[in-house]
Amino acid sequence: MRLLEDENYFEIEEKLLNEGYRFICGVDEAGRGPLAGPVFAAAVVMDRKKIIEGVRDSKKLTPKKREKLFDEIIKESIAYSVAMVDSKIIDEININNATFLAMKNAIENLKIEPDIVLVDGYEIPNLSFNQMAIIKGDRKSYSIACASILAKVSRDRYIVEISSKYPVYKFEKHKGYGTKEHIEILQKYGPCEIHRISFLKNILSL
Protein backbone atom coordinates (compact mmCIF):
# COMPACT_ATOMS: atom_id res chain seq x y z
CA MET A 1 0.00 0.00 0.00
CA ARG A 2 1.43 3.39 -1.00
CA LEU A 3 0.05 6.65 0.27
CA LEU A 4 0.99 10.15 -0.77
CA GLU A 5 2.20 12.47 1.96
CA ASP A 6 -0.66 14.26 3.76
CA GLU A 7 -3.32 11.86 2.48
CA ASN A 8 -5.78 10.45 5.01
CA TYR A 9 -3.51 9.57 7.90
CA PHE A 10 -5.87 6.87 9.11
CA GLU A 11 -6.22 4.98 5.82
CA ILE A 12 -3.78 2.23 6.75
CA GLU A 13 -5.36 1.78 10.18
CA GLU A 14 -8.86 1.78 8.67
CA LYS A 15 -7.90 -1.04 6.33
CA LEU A 16 -6.42 -3.08 9.18
CA LEU A 17 -9.48 -2.49 11.37
CA ASN A 18 -11.69 -3.73 8.55
CA GLU A 19 -9.51 -6.85 8.37
CA GLY A 20 -10.22 -7.57 12.03
CA TYR A 21 -7.22 -6.04 13.81
CA ARG A 22 -8.22 -4.32 17.04
CA PHE A 23 -5.17 -2.95 18.85
CA ILE A 24 -2.98 -1.29 16.22
CA CYS A 25 0.33 -0.01 17.56
CA GLY A 26 2.43 2.68 15.91
CA VAL A 27 6.13 2.89 16.76
CA ASP A 28 8.77 5.46 15.86
CA GLU A 29 12.11 6.77 17.08
CA ALA A 30 13.76 10.11 17.76
CA GLY A 31 17.45 10.84 17.98
CA ARG A 32 19.20 8.57 15.49
CA GLY A 33 21.38 11.37 14.17
CA PRO A 34 22.64 13.42 17.15
CA LEU A 35 26.22 13.30 18.37
CA ALA A 36 25.09 13.01 21.97
CA GLY A 37 22.32 11.62 24.13
CA PRO A 38 20.09 8.57 23.94
CA VAL A 39 17.92 7.38 21.08
CA PHE A 40 14.27 7.33 22.11
CA ALA A 41 11.36 5.26 20.80
CA ALA A 42 7.65 5.45 21.48
CA ALA A 43 4.89 2.90 20.94
CA VAL A 44 1.25 3.92 21.06
CA VAL A 45 -2.16 2.38 20.48
CA MET A 46 -4.68 5.08 19.61
CA ASP A 47 -8.47 5.09 19.92
CA ARG A 48 -10.18 5.17 16.51
CA LYS A 49 -13.08 7.10 18.01
CA LYS A 50 -10.83 9.90 19.31
CA ILE A 51 -8.81 11.12 16.34
CA ILE A 52 -6.71 14.15 17.30
CA GLU A 53 -6.72 17.02 14.82
CA GLY A 54 -3.34 18.30 13.70
CA VAL A 55 -1.31 15.11 14.15
CA ARG A 56 1.50 14.99 11.61
CA ASP A 57 5.09 13.81 11.33
CA SER A 58 6.76 15.43 14.36
CA LYS A 59 9.42 17.06 12.16
CA LYS A 60 6.68 19.13 10.48
CA LEU A 61 5.39 20.59 13.73
CA THR A 62 6.62 23.47 15.85
CA PRO A 63 7.92 22.64 19.34
CA LYS A 64 4.87 24.36 20.85
CA LYS A 65 2.48 22.32 18.70
CA ARG A 66 4.34 19.08 19.50
CA GLU A 67 4.05 19.77 23.22
CA LYS A 68 0.30 20.34 22.93
CA LEU A 69 -0.24 17.22 20.84
CA PHE A 70 1.98 15.18 23.18
CA ASP A 71 -0.43 15.78 26.06
CA GLU A 72 -3.48 15.07 23.88
CA ILE A 73 -2.01 11.83 22.53
CA ILE A 74 -1.28 10.54 26.02
CA LYS A 75 -4.77 11.51 27.17
CA GLU A 76 -6.59 9.88 24.24
CA SER A 77 -4.40 6.81 23.74
CA ILE A 78 -5.47 3.33 24.73
CA ALA A 79 -1.87 2.59 25.70
CA TYR A 80 1.55 4.14 25.21
CA SER A 81 5.14 3.52 26.20
CA VAL A 82 8.43 5.38 25.75
CA ALA A 83 11.88 3.77 25.95
CA MET A 84 15.43 4.96 25.45
CA VAL A 85 18.87 3.48 24.85
CA ASP A 86 21.80 5.55 26.06
CA SER A 87 24.93 6.65 24.24
CA LYS A 88 27.16 3.97 25.76
CA ILE A 89 24.94 1.19 24.41
CA ILE A 90 24.75 2.99 21.06
CA ASP A 91 28.55 2.90 20.89
CA GLU A 92 28.57 -0.78 21.83
CA ILE A 93 25.92 -2.13 19.44
CA ASN A 94 25.65 0.70 16.82
CA ILE A 95 22.78 3.09 16.23
CA ASN A 96 20.68 0.75 14.08
CA ASN A 97 20.63 -1.99 16.70
CA ALA A 98 20.12 0.55 19.48
CA THR A 99 17.12 2.01 17.64
CA PHE A 100 15.57 -1.43 17.18
CA LEU A 101 16.20 -2.18 20.86
CA ALA A 102 14.47 1.03 21.97
CA MET A 103 11.51 0.29 19.69
CA LYS A 104 11.25 -3.28 20.91
CA ASN A 105 11.39 -2.20 24.56
CA ALA A 106 8.71 0.43 24.00
CA ILE A 107 6.38 -2.12 22.38
CA GLU A 108 6.97 -4.79 25.01
CA ASN A 109 6.29 -2.29 27.82
CA LEU A 110 2.79 -1.45 26.56
CA LYS A 111 0.08 -2.33 29.07
CA ILE A 112 -1.83 -4.18 26.34
CA GLU A 113 -0.65 -6.61 23.67
CA PRO A 114 -0.95 -5.16 20.15
CA ASP A 115 -2.49 -7.18 17.35
CA ILE A 116 -0.14 -5.57 14.84
CA VAL A 117 2.71 -3.08 14.98
CA LEU A 118 3.19 -0.39 12.34
CA VAL A 119 6.89 0.44 12.24
CA ASP A 120 8.38 3.57 10.72
CA GLY A 121 11.15 2.36 8.43
CA TYR A 122 12.17 -1.27 8.58
CA GLU A 123 10.97 -4.37 10.41
CA ILE A 124 12.25 -4.85 13.94
CA PRO A 125 14.34 -8.03 14.18
CA ASN A 126 13.11 -10.77 16.52
CA LEU A 127 9.89 -8.97 17.41
CA SER A 128 7.30 -11.39 18.77
CA PHE A 129 4.36 -9.38 17.36
CA ASN A 130 2.96 -9.19 13.85
CA GLN A 131 4.44 -6.11 12.21
CA MET A 132 4.20 -3.98 9.08
CA ALA A 133 7.15 -1.80 8.09
CA ILE A 134 6.23 1.46 6.35
CA ILE A 135 8.91 3.64 4.78
CA LYS A 136 8.28 7.27 5.81
CA GLY A 137 5.49 5.90 7.96
CA ASP A 138 5.30 9.07 10.04
CA ARG A 139 3.93 10.77 6.91
CA LYS A 140 1.45 8.02 6.08
CA SER A 141 0.15 6.52 9.33
CA TYR A 142 -1.72 8.29 12.12
CA SER A 143 -0.45 5.79 14.71
CA ILE A 144 3.18 6.20 13.66
CA ALA A 145 2.81 9.99 13.54
CA CYS A 146 1.51 9.92 17.12
CA ALA A 147 4.46 7.77 18.16
CA SER A 148 6.87 10.16 16.43
CA ILE A 149 5.51 13.06 18.50
CA LEU A 150 5.80 11.11 21.76
CA ALA A 151 9.38 10.07 20.98
CA LYS A 152 10.51 13.52 19.85
CA VAL A 153 9.02 15.44 22.78
CA SER A 154 10.25 12.85 25.30
CA ARG A 155 13.80 13.08 23.96
CA ASP A 156 13.81 16.88 23.79
CA ARG A 157 12.56 17.13 27.38
CA TYR A 158 15.22 14.69 28.54
CA ILE A 159 18.03 16.57 26.79
CA VAL A 160 16.88 19.93 28.15
CA GLU A 161 16.72 18.47 31.65
CA ILE A 162 20.15 16.87 31.51
CA SER A 163 21.75 19.93 29.87
CA SER A 164 22.10 21.61 33.27
CA LYS A 165 24.63 18.91 34.18
CA TYR A 166 26.77 19.83 31.16
CA PRO A 167 26.21 23.58 30.70
CA VAL A 168 29.27 24.17 28.55
CA TYR A 169 27.84 22.02 25.72
CA LYS A 170 24.55 23.96 25.42
CA PHE A 171 22.53 20.81 24.78
CA GLU A 172 19.32 22.73 25.46
CA LYS A 173 19.90 24.64 22.21
CA HIS A 174 20.92 21.94 19.73
CA LYS A 175 19.58 18.79 21.48
CA GLY A 176 22.85 17.00 20.75
CA TYR A 177 22.75 17.42 16.96
CA GLY A 178 25.91 18.29 15.05
CA THR A 179 25.38 22.01 14.66
CA LYS A 180 28.30 24.33 13.92
CA GLU A 181 28.22 25.61 17.50
CA HIS A 182 28.13 22.10 18.97
CA ILE A 183 31.08 20.97 16.86
CA GLU A 184 33.09 24.05 17.84
CA ILE A 185 32.40 23.32 21.52
CA LEU A 186 33.44 19.69 21.04
CA GLN A 187 36.69 20.72 19.40
CA LYS A 188 37.43 23.06 22.30
CA TYR A 189 36.41 20.91 25.27
CA GLY A 190 36.24 17.36 23.91
CA PRO A 191 33.32 14.96 24.53
CA CYS A 192 31.44 14.45 27.77
CA GLU A 193 29.98 11.20 29.07
CA ILE A 194 26.75 11.42 27.04
CA HIS A 195 28.47 11.91 23.69
CA ARG A 196 28.42 9.03 21.21
CA ILE A 197 32.12 8.42 20.72
CA SER A 198 31.49 6.32 17.62
CA PHE A 199 29.88 9.37 16.00
CA LEU A 200 32.84 11.67 16.63
CA LYS A 201 35.63 9.94 14.73
CA ASN A 202 35.37 12.30 11.76
CA ILE A 203 35.15 15.35 14.01
CA LEU A 204 37.78 14.70 16.66
CA SER A 205 41.03 12.75 16.69
CA LEU A 206 39.82 9.81 18.80
Binding-site residues from annotation for a divalent metal cation? 28-29, 120
The domain locations on the chain are: 10-162
Q: What percent of the chain shows pLDDT beyond 70?
A: 95
149-192 confidence digits (pLDDT tens): 999 999 999 999 999 999 999 999 999 999 999 999 999 999 99
Binding-site residues from annotation? 28-29, 120
Domain 10-162 sits in which CATH superfamily? Ribonuclease H-like superfamily/Ribonuclease H (3.30.420.10)
Band (pLDDT 50/70/90 cuts) for residue 6 is very low
Alpha-carbon distance of 9 to 11, in angstroms, equals 6
Three-state SS across the chain? CCCCCCCCCCHHHHHHHHCCCCCEEEEEEECCCCCECCEEEEEEEECCCCCCCCCCCHHHCCHHHHHHHHHHHHHHEEEEEEEEECHHHHHHHCHHHHHHHHHHHHHHCCCCCCCEEEEECCCCCCCCCCEEEECCHHHCCHHHHHHHHHHHHHHHHHHHHHHCCCHHHCHHHHCCCCCHHHHHHHHHHCCCCCECHHHCCCCCCC
pLDDT score for 57: 64
